[in-house]
Amino acid sequence: MDPAFKRRAFIVCLALVAGLTALSFRLITLQVWDRKISDRSSVPRFKMQVTIPASRGLIVDRNQTVIAQNRPEATLVANLNHLHTVDILKKAVTHRYASQVAGWKSLNDAEREFVLREARKKFVASMSKQELIDDHLAYATEIIGRELRMSSAGLRKKIEQGSARTVVRKGIREDLARRLEKELQERRIQGFNFERSQRRYYPMPTFAPHLIGFKNHEGVGECGLEKWMEEILAGRDGRRELKRDEIGLVNLTEAAEVNPPMMGKHVKATLDMGIQAIIEEELGMAFDAYNAKAGSILVVDPHTGDILAMASRPHFNLNIRENYAKAGTSFAVSAQYEAGSVMKIVAMSAALESGGVTRQTIVDCGWGAIARSGFIINDHHRYGELTFEDVLVKSSNTGVFQFAERVGRAGFYQYLDDFGFGKRTGFPIPGEAKGRIQDRTNMRNFASATYGYGVSVTPLQLAMAYSVLANGGTLLKPRLIDSVIAHDGRKLESIPVQKVGRVVSEHTAREMCLSLEQVVLKGTGRRARVPGYRAGGKTGTAEKWDNKARMYREDQKFLTFAGIFPIHEPRFVCIVTIDEPSGLGEDFQIGGGTIAAPLFAQVAGRIARFVNLTPTEEVPENEDSIALNPTQ
C-alpha cells in the first residue's frame, strides 16, 4: 500500500477519534457537571415532597368533653430558587397582564388562551430576566398581601432580604391557606408553598393544666398526659409528592403520590370537667381571699381511685404558658408537708382494727399533757377522759397517742405504710413526691407521727388514704386514664381499677366514717357541714418547720380538710389544702376548721347539686346562725 495513503488514512482516523473523544467529554460535562447549563428551560428537575402532619389524638374527660384538640394551620414559605427561574416566572407574568383585560373572568378557555398568547407577545417576550423577577414578585405579594391582610411592600422587602427559604407567615388558618393556595395556582404564581402542621389547642386552658400538659416546639409532649401518653396520642406523619407540568410548574393543589398519615389515638381521662370547673373557681377565690402561698383541691372517687378533679395553685395557662417556669409543678402531687391532725385516722383506725377498742372506749387525756419516755406530749386544751369518738371530735393529741400505744410502735408504722404513706402512689404524671417518715426507732418521732408531725405527705396520698375508709377498707391506686379510644370511637383499651391491698376491715372503715361524721356535726369540722347532706371528715392545722431557726413557726401554717361525702354512701373524697394564708387580721383564728373546712363545704355542696345528689337531711332554719371557733 502507498505509504502516502497510509499516512493520510492514519491522520483522518486520528482526527475522527479525537473529535469523538472531545464530543463525548462535552456530553459528559453537560450531563453531569454543567447540568444546569444544558437545561435550557432552567427548571429544577428534583421532586418536591411535603409533610402531611398526623392528627394528634384528642384528650377527653369521662363525659367526652374535649380537653385537648388540634387546630390545623399552615406556614407560607417563599423559595428564592424558584423565584429566579425564568420559564416559571413567564407564565405568572403573562397571566398578570392577561387578567387585566376587560371581561377576563367571563371568558371561556379558548378565549383565555388567545388573550394569554397576545399578552405574552406584547408584554412578556421582550422582558429581561430581572424585569420578569420583579414583575412576578410584585404580582405574588399583591395577591398574598390581600389574602393575608399584609402590606405587599413589606412582604416584598421581607422576601428580597430573606434567605433561600423565607418564612412569609406562620399560623395561617387552614381554610385561608386553602383559598390562597387556590389563588396562587390559578394565577400560575410559583415559588411559594405551604407547610402544614397541627397546633394543639386547649379549650379550657387553666383547668387542670398540670394533669393535661402540653406539646413542646418539636411537637412532642412536654408534661402531663401529653407526655405520659405521647406514643398513643402522636400518630405518624404522612408525605405527598407534588406534581409538576411540562415546564416544571408545581401544582399546589394536586399530588402525584400520597402516603397518608396515621391518626393518633384518643385518650379518655377520668376527670369530670364540670367538677373541675367548680374546684378551680372555688380555689381561685380562696387563694385570693386568703393571700395564700400555694394550695390545692382534689376530688377522688373512692371506689375506683378515679381522679375526678384536681386543681393546684399556682398554675398556668396551657395555651400561653408564660408562668410555666414558676407554676409548672402540681401542689397536689408534688408538695410534701406535715399535715397535722388529718393524719390521726391512721392511729385510730389501727386501734379499732387491732381489737379491744370501740367507739366508746375511754382514755384519760391528762388535762392538757401526758409524760412518756422522758418527754411531754402536749394537747390543745385541757381534756380529761374522752371516748374514742370524742378524741377525734376534739382532735386530742394525747388521746390519739394513747390509742396508738395500744397498737404498738411497729404496728402503727405498719398501718402508716399500709395506708400508702412514705411511698409514691403510682400516679401517671412525672414529679410525684413520695413523702417522708422520720426515724421509726425514736419514741418522740413515734408520738409526733400519731398526730401528724414527723410524717410528710402529699394531698394525693391523703386522698387515697381517706378513700380507704370511704370504700370499705381497700387502698387503691389513683386512676387518671380511663381508656384509649380509636378515631372511629372504638374502645381499644380500658385501664382497670388497681387494688393495692386491704388495709382495714369493712367494720373498721364504717366505724371510722361514723366517727368522722361526728367531727363535722359537733367537732373541729363543723364549718364543713353541707345543708341537706351527711358529711364526714377531719381538720388539720400544722405549723411549718423552719430549718434555720430549728423550730416550728406559728405564723406559717398548712391548713387541711379531708372530707368524705356523703358519709353514709360515699360518692367522693375531697382534700382541701391551703399553704400559708396571711393578711387576715390579728383576730382571725387561722386553722383548718376556719379556712379549709368552709371551703370543703362550698365545694361539696356545689358538686352535690352538679351531680344531682338527692338531699337526705332536713336543713335547719338557723343554719347560718351557728357560732363557731374551731381551729384544728
**Range from 13-17, 25-29, 213-217 that averages highest in pLDDT:** 213-217
Is residue 46 pLDDT above 60, yes or no? no
Please state, in angstroms and rounded to a whole number, the distance separating the CA atoms of residues 44 and 48.
10
Residues 6+ apart with CB under 8 A from 405: none
Q: Which residues pair with 60 in a beta bridge?
A: 66, 268
The band of 280, judged by pLDDT with boundaries at 50, 70 and 90, is very high
Higher-confidence residue of 18 and 293: namely 293
Is residue 93 pLDDT above 80, yes or no? yes
Residue 622 pLDDT: 62
Residue 546 pLDDT: 85
What nine digits make up the cell of 608? 352535690
The residue segments making up the domain with residue 253 are: 48-269
Among 189, 187, 173, residue whose Cα is nearest residue 136: 189
Residues 556 and 445 in one domain: yes
Looking at 269, 290, 324, the residue that finishes a domain is: 269
Residues 379 and 400 in one domain: yes
Among 419, 260, 261, 265, residue whose Cα is nearest residue 339: 419
Residues 295 and 225 in one domain: no
Residues 118 and 184 in one domain: yes
Residues 557 and 533 in one domain: yes
Task: Give yes or no for a cis peptide into 314 (omega within 30° of 0).
Answer: yes
Domain count, the chain: 2
Do residues 603 and 278 make contact, with C-beta atoms less than 8 angstroms apart? Answer: yes
Please identify which residue in the block is written with the cell numbers 381522679: 307
**Which run of H or E residues covers position 457?**
strand 455-457
What nine digits make up the cell of 254? 394536586
Residues 112 and 213 in one domain: yes
Residue 470 pLDDT: 98
Do residues 140 and 92 make contact, with C-beta atoms less than 8 angstroms apart? Answer: yes
The band of 244, judged by pLDDT with boundaries at 50, 70 and 90, is low
Looking at 269, 301, 322, the residue that finishes a domain is: 269
Residue 602 domain-assigned (yes or no): no
- pLDDT, one tens digit per residue, over 103-134 is 888 888 888 888 888 888 888 888 888 888 88
Is residue 15 pLDDT above 50, yes or no? yes
- Percent of the chain's residues with pLDDT above 90: 56
Residues 170 and 309 in one domain: no
Residue 516 pLDDT: 97
Is residue 261 pLDDT above 50, yes or no? yes
Please state, in angstroms and rounded to a whole number, the distance separating the CA atoms of residues 140 and 190.
8
Maximum CA extent, the chain: 146
Residue 136 pLDDT: 85
Residue 139 pLDDT: 87
Is residue 16 pLDDT above 80, yes or no? no
Residue type, 381: H
Residue 45 pLDDT: 47
Residue 624 pLDDT: 47
With vertex at residue 59, the alpha carbon angle to CA 53 and CA 64, rounded to the nearest 5 degrees, is 125
Residue 584 domain-assigned (yes or no): yes
What nine digits make up the cell of 7? 499516512
Residues 330 and 229 in one domain: no
The band of 502, judged by pLDDT with boundaries at 50, 70 and 90, is very high
Residues in the chain: 632
Residues 189 and 319 in one domain: no
**pTM value?**
0.81
Is residue 277 pLDDT above 60, yes or no? yes
Residues 6+ apart with CB under 8 A from 415: 346, 347, 349, 350, 353, 407, 503
**Range from 73-77, 405-409, 543-547, 584-588 that averages highest in pLDDT:** 405-409
Among 533, 523, 587, residue whose Cα is nearest residue 561: 523
Is residue 445 pLDDT above 90, yes or no? yes
- pLDDT, one tens digit per residue, over 171-198 is 888 899 899 989 888 888 888 888 888 8
Residue 618 domain-assigned (yes or no): no
Region 302-323: mean pLDDT is 95
Task: Report helix angle 597-610 to 273-289, nearest 10.
Answer: 150
Residue type, 209: P
Residues 234 and 280 in one domain: no
Residues 385 and 499 in one domain: yes
Residue 622 domain-assigned (yes or no): no
Task: Give yes or no for a cis peptide into 72 (omega within 30° of 0).
Answer: no
Residues 181 and 295 in one domain: no
